[in-house]
Each structure stands twice: as structure tokens, then as C-alpha cells.
Amino acid sequence: MSSLFAAPSGLRAQRGVAGFIAGLSPRGRALLIVTEVVLLLLLWQFLVGTLGLVNAVFFPPPLDVAQGFVELVQQGTLAQNAAVSVQSWLTGFAIAVAIGVPLGLLMGSSVPVDRVFGPIAWTLYAAPAVAYQPLTKAWFGFGTGPVIFLIVISAIFPIMLNLAAGIRTTSPSLIRAARVYGGSRMDVYRKILLPAAVPFLFAGLRQGAVLATIGMVVAELTGSSVGMGAVIIRSANTYNTDQSFAAIMLIVIWSVSMTQLVGLVERWLAPWNRRKGAAS
């Protein structure tokens, strides 16, 4: 399963469009993506806004969404609800890291702990976190409690399980090298296992950031009167779908920004792990 989380590193010779894209410089690639997005937005605006192929209430064109965004800002709805969501997200993600990292370290370095907690962790991870949503109201009431709980439960397993896998899959010859040069158990842990697991930890954090956002929106959609999820529900119920779309876009931007932020921290903390030009 761990290969599921590992970053794709195998580069194969590619032809055609894939080859063209692979051959682009980072700047060229960014330009390509921007062009793609602009073209899609234009097409969308033209088909729905100008031709009216679809009822704009169901699928508001980009300019309407922009209008909805402005409304959200002017009403003060956005500032208020985004603040609640960001706070829940950060709290939940911090708790997931604070619990997931030590548990992952334990599971990765102790076979008995892994035997006992591994199956439980994988089972909980396999169950969709969304399923707990109705219960969370009974457990945590109607405040941000259920939201934070769902964020934690969504983000904690990828963090924990990736970290554990990273420690367990450390090359045995690195461990042998540490022992040969006088390393104690503690040295092996500190100087080999922990640094070797860093790329796996960040893979888990990146995945956890996305799942945390999903958990947050699901919890806010049904169980909460505040937060971005609540904004979506309320605006959709009053047929202000342009506002719903604006809220969805903001959530997507948040999710992408957080994974990018994790990537930045990784490049800063683990500069040796640049994917390009990796050995072998």
C-alpha cells in the first residue's frame, strides 16, 4: 500500500503530447496551464453566458461567479465564514499532526505496536470519514467541534500511515552502516530512520491537507451554521448558485495552497529530496 503514497519518480520516455509537455521548462508548463484555464473559462462563459445552453442557475458562468464573489465580500459573509473555516482547518490539522506523527513514529519503529494498531488504523482509514458525520453532532454538539473532529479524523491516517511506512522501508544497509560506525539504537533512530522518513512524512502531510479540506466541507455542509460549507448550502438553497460556486472556488484555492505550502516547507527542510535528478 505504501507505494500508493510514494511520489511518482519513474520517468519513462514519452512521445506525442505527453512528450511535448515533459519537454517544457517549468515556466512553459505554468504558461500552458494558465492558457488552458483561461480557454476553459472563456468557453464556459460563451456556452452558458452567451448562448444560454444551460440554465445559469445550475451552472453559473465565470462572470456571474465573480459577481457572486463580490457579493459575498460586500455582505461581509465571506470574511466571517472564511475565518471560521480557516480556524477550524488549522486547529484540526495541527491536532492531526500532533497525534499522527508520534503514533506514526511508534508504529514504524515497533513491530508489536504496528501489529496491534496497524490493522485498526488501516480499517479506520478505509472507512469514509464522512460516515461519522451524523454521530459527531451527538459527540460534539453543534459548534465547530464536529468540524474539527472530522478534519482530524480525515487527515490523521495518511500522516500516520505514511510516516510509519517511511520508517519501516528505510534501507537496511543504511541501518547496517550506522551500526558498523558505532551507532547505538538511539543513533540509528535519530540519524537514519527519522531523516529517511521525512519524504514519506511530507507525502502524508500533502495528502492529509487535501483530505482535511474535504472533511471540513462535509462537516460544515450539514452540521454547521457557519463556515464555507454553510455558505455553499445557504446560497444554493436561495438559488444564489453564483455565490455557491464562488465559495467552492475559494475552498479549492485553499486546498491547493495548503498542499503547495507543505511542498515549500519540504523543499526547505529536506533539500536533498528534490525529485528532479534523483539518483538511480
For another protein, the binding residues (CB under 8 A) are 171, 173-174, 176-184, 187, 191-192, 195-196, 198, 270, 272-273, 277-279
Report the residue number, 68 or 108, with the smaller CB distance to another protein: 108
Q: How far is the CB of 189 from another protein (least distance, A)?
A: 12
Those residues whose C-beta lies under 8 Å from the C-beta of residue 66, and which sit 6 or more positions away, are 246
Q: How far is the CB of 191 from another protein (least distance, A)?
A: 8
The closest of 95, 111, 71, 58 to 239, measured between CA atoms, is 58
Rounded distance, CA 41 to CA 26, Å? 23
Report the residue number, 248 or 270, with the smaller CB distance to another protein: 270
Q: How far is the CB of 169 from another protein (least distance, A)?
A: 14
Report the residue number, 29 or 176, with the smaller CB distance to another protein: 176
Q: How far is the CB of 187 from another protein (least distance, A)?
A: 5
Tell me the DSSP string of 146-204.
Answer: HHHHHHHHHHHHHHHHHHHHHHHTS-HHHHHHHHHTT--HHHIIIIIIHHHHHHHHHHH
Report the residue number, 101 or 177, with the smaller CB distance to another protein: 177
| Residue entry with cell 474539527 | 148
